[in-house]
Amino acid sequence: MIDVLNILIQLQEIDSQIINLKQKTESLPLKIKKLDQLAEEIDKQFENERKKLSTLEKQKKDKERDIDEINDKIKKLKEKTSQIKTNKEYQALLKEIESFEEALKKEEENLLLIMYELDETKRNLEDSKKNADLKKKELELEKIQVEEEIKRVNQSIDTLIDERRGFIDKLPKEIYDEYKELMKKHKGIAVSEVKNSVCQGCFLHIPPQLYVEIKLNQSIYHCPQCGRILFYKKEENKEEKAVSE
């Protein structure tokens, strides 16, 4: 029974490693997904800057067209001055010309503001492109590293599964069936160490006589509360032994 207990202990260690590695394989794809999302956000930010530039360029063209139209109107009004016969008509024409010239001045000021923002946006876009390319390269490199880690973890799991089969073959069927049921019931922990008279699975204080028998590691004993298979590590409990002596 000593050999069976040792096999169960080693099997539990292997299964615990497999569980931890499988949890890791579940979290790593999420990390890749997050990296992809960050890359998409970078592209989206750059696209927003590009759209802003496109909008400003359109505003510039529209403003230049408006200015040309106003200049054309002013030119035609000035051409009319030679045809004016009365002073009243002349004053009215001058007032109309003045009104268009004021509008022209405002439009030219607006055009200057647009051109200033356009130049600034072009510079920002160039910087954003450089930063975006650099950041995306970093993200791609990190993604490759995560993908390589996934491969390593899966290889480790495969190795442990192969090793696990060797231990299963050495166990009596009824013992392995019980082990599987306990694994299922206790979310992957079927075999639990006892430290200082306490089951490390459910933290029940083991009765003194049972604890003495468990410390011998010569038979399979179960926790009275959680039902897990119990064992005692002598090397890790030297301090407890010293206290008892």
Please give the pLDDT value at position 172: 94
Look up residue 233 and give its amino acid.
K
Q: Is the pLDDT of residue 179 over 70?
A: yes
Please give the pLDDT value at position 235: 63
Distance CA 197, CA 214 (A): 10
Distance CA 66, CA 144 (A): 53
Phi-psi region of 171 (alpha: psi -120 to 50; beta: other; left: phi over 0): beta
Pick the CATH number of 31-151 from 1.10.15.40, 1.10.287.1490, 1.10.760.10, 1.25.40.80: 1.10.287.1490
What pLDDT digit, counting tens, does each position of 26-45 carry?
A: 888 888 899 999 888 888 88
For the packed helices 87-169 and 2-80, what is the interaxial angle rounded to 10 degrees? 170
What residue has token string 């468990």?
Answer: 214
Please give the pLDDT value at position 208: 95
- Residue 223, judged by CB atoms within 10 A of its CB (0-12, 13-18, 19+), counts as buried
What Å distances lie between residue 73 and 101, 105, 195, 224, CA to CA?
10, 14, 97, 101
Q: Is the pLDDT of residue 18 over 80?
A: yes
Q: Is the pLDDT of residue 243 over 70?
A: no
Please give the pLDDT value at position 125: 87
Q: Residues for the chain: how many in total?
A: 245
Distance CA 130, CA 62 (A): 30
Q: Is the pLDDT of residue 190 over 50?
A: yes
Please give the pLDDT value at position 101: 92
Domains of the chain, residue spans: 31-151, 173-244
What pLDDT digit, counting tens, does each position of 99-147 carry?
A: 999 999 999 999 999 999 999 989 888 888 888 888 889 999 999 999 9
Residue of 98, 64, 63, 106 lying closest to 81 (CA atoms): 98
Residue with the bigger pLDDT between 234 and 63: it is 63
Could you tell me what percent of the chain has a pLDDT over 90?
66
Average of per-residue pLDDT across 138-164: 93
Average pLDDT, the chain: 90
Residue of 200, 202, 224, 226 lying closest to 213 (CA atoms): 224
- Three-class secondary structure assignment of the chain: CHHHHHHHHHHHHHHHHHHHHHHHHHHHHHHHHHHHHHHHHHHHHHHHHHHHHHHHHHHHHHHHHHHHHHHHHHHHHHHHHHHCCCHHHHHHHHHHHHHHHHHHHHHHHHHHHHHHHHHHHHHHHHHHHHHHHHHHHHHHHHHHHHHHHHHHHHHHHHHHHHHHHHHHHCCCHHHHHHHHHHHHHCCCCCEEEEECCEECCCCCECCHHHHHHHHCCCCCEECCCCCCEEECCCHHHHHHHHHHC
Look up residue 61 and give its amino acid.
K
